[in-house]
Structure 1
Amino acid sequence: MSQSRTDGTESDPTRVLSALGNKYSAEILCAAGTPKSAQALSEDIEIPIATCYRRIEELVDAGLLTCEGRQLSAEGRRTNIYRRTLDELDVDFSSEQPTLSRKRRTEAKNKLQDQLTE
């Protein structure tokens, strides 16, 4: 499974739009406001786990989702935990190529949200 990308691919509008165009991608991003495993996302959205893993991979590659670390599952296995990297995404189609502007999630917001959900 991919980790967070910082090699410039996350600013590629085509990759971002392609990832968002896939079924369940938006639902995964909405559900990943707090750190969740692929299994938890799959259960929350009620989609097959294999589909969830594919969408997660695409969203991570597009820079919209990041792996925040690993934790033990109920079965005692180490699982990746994911969270979305942004709260808003604006797409501008007025030029020859689409441009994106993002409202990134700050670490402070992540920590505050984590405390509120504990």
Structure 2
Amino acid sequence: MDPMELLGTLGKKYSPDILRTAEEPASAQELSDELDIPVTTSYRRVEALNELGLLEDDEETSEFGEPGQSQTVYRRTVDEIVIRFDGTEMEIESIERETTTQPLSSVWDDLSRGIGGDD
């Protein structure tokens, strides 16, 4: 990830708000509505953040509207971005979101057992 490109994108109005809000999957239209920003700006910011790998298409929760039309939803891929300055060098570290591959029903079963279920 190019540090200058990252800083430039994060420095644009609404980019940090979009990243904060995209903790849960949302379309560019939904982000626009929730953050009260112009929809064209929302699409541009989402595209730039997606290209940097800070947002990802969440195909599992893509939404379908009118027949033949679908809305891509996006989700934040990082929980933290750390920028360090060391003399004339700049280092960027991103801490990715933890994801689980375990199905929700399995997680629920594990939790139920731990709370005094089947043990």
1:22-33 equivalences in 2 (<5 Å): 22-33=12-23
Which residue number in structure 2 is paired with residue 108 of structure 1?
100
1:55 corresponds to 2:45: yes
TM-superposed deviation, 1:96: 2.1
What is the identity, as a one-letter code, of the residue corresponding to 2:17? E
Which residue number in structure 2 is paired with residue 17 of structure 1?
7
Deviations 1:79-116 (CA, angstroms, capped at 9, x unpaired): 1010011011110012423111111002229x87xx9x
How many residues are paired up?
Answer: 101
The secondary structure found in structure 2 opposite 1:16 is helix
Q: Which shows bigger deviation, 57-66 or 17-26? A: 57-66
Q: Scaled by the length of structure 2, what TM-score is found?
A: 0.76
Which residue number in structure 2 is paired with residue 45 of structure 1?
35
Q: Percent of aligned positions with the same letter in both sequences?
A: 38
The secondary structure found in structure 1 opposite 2:81 is strand
Larger relative contact order, structure 1 or 2 (CA cutoff 8 Å, min sep 6): 1
Whole-angstrom CA distance in 2 between matches of 1:84 and 1:33? 5
Whole-angstrom CA distance in 2 between matches of 1:101 and 1:95? 17
Whole-angstrom CA distance in 1 between matches of 2:95 and 2:48? 20
Deviations 1:30-87 (CA, angstroms, capped at 9, x unpaired): 00000001111001100010000010111111111111123213x4530101001101
Q: Which shows bigger deviation, 76-85 or 26-35? A: 76-85
**Higher-Rg member (1/2):** 2
